[in-house]
Amino acid sequence: MSGPVASLSAVAVDYPRGRALGPVDLALAPGEIVALVGPSGCGKSTALRLLAGLEAPTQGAVTRATGRGETSVVFQAPTLAPWLSARDNVALPLELAGVGKREARAAAEEALAKVGLASAAAARPAQLSGGMAMRVSLARALVTRPRLLLLDEPFAALDEITRRVLADDVLALAAELAPAVVFVTHNVEEAVYMAGRVVVMTPGPGRIAGEIAIEGAVPRPPGFRTTAAFRAAAEAVSELLATASERAA
Amino acid sequence: MKRILPPLILVAALLAGWEIACRALVVPPYLLPPPSAVWTALLESWPLLLSSAWATLSTALLALVIASLVACGLALTVSLNRVLEDAVRPIAVTLQVTPLVAIAPLVTIWAGIDHPERAVIGLAAVVAFFPIFSGALAGLKSVDPDLARLFDLHGATPFQRLTRLRLPSAVPALLEGHKVAAGLAVIGAVVAEFVAGSGGAQGLAWRILEAYNRLQTAKVFAALVMLAILGVALHAIMEALERRLLHFWRGR
């Protein structure tokens, strides 16, 4: 358990219209929470797909210590199957891995209870609010007890209050299972609030401009957003983003 | 009620204008019969028209079933293989843009001159085939890319991908395709009866031809009214069916 859960070494990705990412280096220690911050087009989502093994790099090496089914991804949209109930959506990854239907459903109900949706197990995605659907998506990511949890701007479509509640939920759930978490966002405060390490990226092609460690216990104590440490860290990340973008432009 | 009233008033006004114009201008009834004459013709021959409507409808429905089976089977096969799809698509499009009446003689010959009803079913099925085929194909490919990534991530087998992702994703497009195809099947059946139907044909097109040959223009109109009712009713039924099934599919 001492080596990195996943790492990118001198990784670059080229698309037909040019270089999208790299070269970048990034290593994830077990249980740590890393936020990738940057403007659109900086390769955050590409980096996430590389870590998930959903995309192959053009250059460099991606190493993953996780086996099949030990990586989970939460996408920008809830990405639920509209024809399945919340419970069956959550059970899906287990069933795809060959777990029996009854066992998978029991695990799904437990996961739904953890995100506070025990009573919505039979509901279809169309009957859920945006925040509830995102919670189902989160339950689906956690039901396989992943060692690596990747979140691609998961709260982008939600209102500010729901965002904050969900951020706390993610932290609480992550504390329980202790997976390494990579969290893509372009919201600086969200990144500082959730991560132990904020990695700032710049576009054209996507590079890592620098990273800032965030002090303090995770999950965050109440009122963390109003502390001087939080303000200072957010200020530092914003400054790094600004100077890096200036240099890129 | 507010939405039904304007078209009702418009239709009533048009019918009244038509009736008045026919009487005032003394239009010969073989040229344009007044609505009252059409109504009389409807009252006189409605049992025959009803059985003809049933003949056309059952032809169209049988054609729809055949088209559905062939189109879904072919779409599924083709969707599994990119090369196959590229090979089949231009042929399908070519057949689609060829007018139905142009291929009717061929189909009539192949069906056997003694079996015009087979030719009619075959031609109606050809027309109904395309919306179902393209709907099914589009549906099978309309998978949410992130949901597909989830299947990748958890190592889904090709069979799981088909039965648990692509088939259920295709349902809305399939329903839409069948709704369009049902309307086209009726049109196809009528056109095919005109071209191929003789002797054994009992459908509404035959009633129109028959009345036309005797210059019984009011009866032509009566058959047209029946055809319009059939088309509207089938459309309404298919739309209600689509809504119900979609409701079931997404649970709301």
Task: Nearest by CB to B147, from A71, A79, A144: name it.
Answer: A79
- Contact by Cβ (8 Å): A156, A149: no
Distance CA B223, CA B217 (A): 10
Helical (H) or strand (E) element with A193: helix A188-194
B151 contact residues in A (CB cutoff 8 A): 96
Domain B61-250: top CATH class = mainly alpha
Whole-Å CA distances, B139 to B38, B72, B142, B238: 45, 11, 5, 19
What is the tens place of the pLDDT at every residue in B55-87? 999 999 999 999 999 999 999 999 888 899 889
Q: CB of A53 within 8 Å of any CB in chain B? A: yes
User: Which chain B residues contact residue A75 at CB under 8 A?
Assistant: 146, 149-150
ipTM of the complex: 0.86
CATH superfamily of A1-66+148-249: P-loop containing nucleotide triphosphate hydrolases (3.40.50.300)
What separation, in Å, do the N-terminal and C-terminal C-alpha atoms of chain B show?
Answer: 26
- Which residues of chain A fall below pLDDT 70? 1-2, 248-249
Residue A1's pLDDT is what? 47
Separation between Cα atoms, residue B37 and residue B32, nearest integer Å:
10
Distance CA B175, CA A137 (A): 28
Model pLDDT, residue B197: 62
Burial B106-135 (b: 16+ CB within 10 A, else e): ebbeebeeebbbbbbbbbbbbbbbbbbbbb
Instruction: Determine how β-strand A18-28 pairs with β-strand A6-15.
Output: antiparallel
Q: What is the pLDDT of residue B100?
A: 81
Segment B147-159, tens digit of pLDDT: 999 998 888 899 9
Helices B35-79 & B167-196, crossing angle to 10 degrees?
A: 130
Confidence band, pLDDT 50/70/90 cuts, at residue B252: low
| Other residues' Cβ atoms within 10 Å of the Cβ of residue B198 | 13
Collect all residues of chain A within an 8 Å Cβ-Cβ radius of residue B168.
81, 83
Residue ranges of domains in chain A? 1-66+148-249, 79-146
CB-CB neighbors (< 8 A) of A85 in chain B: 251
* B239 interfacial to chain A (CB closer than 8 Å): no
Q: Which residue of A has its CA nearest to B143?
A: A81
**Residue contacts between A and B (CB atoms, under 8 Å):** 62
CB contact under 8 A, B154 and A53: no
* pLDDT tens string B114-160: 788 888 899 999 999 999 999 999 999 889 999 999 998 888 899 99
- Answer for the pair A185, A207: CB distance below 8 angstroms, yes or no: no
pLDDT value for A22:
76
User: Is some CB atom of chain A closer than 8 A to the CB atom of B214?
Assistant: no
For residue A243, what pLDDT is reported?
83
Q: What is the pLDDT of residues B11-20, one digit of tens each?
A: 999 999 999 9
Q: Are B61 and B174 in contact (CB under 8 A)?
A: no
Taking only the tens place, the pLDDT of each residue in B181-226 is 999 999 989 988 888 765 556 888 888 988 898 999 999 999 999 9
Q: Look up residue A206 and give its DSSP letter.
A: B
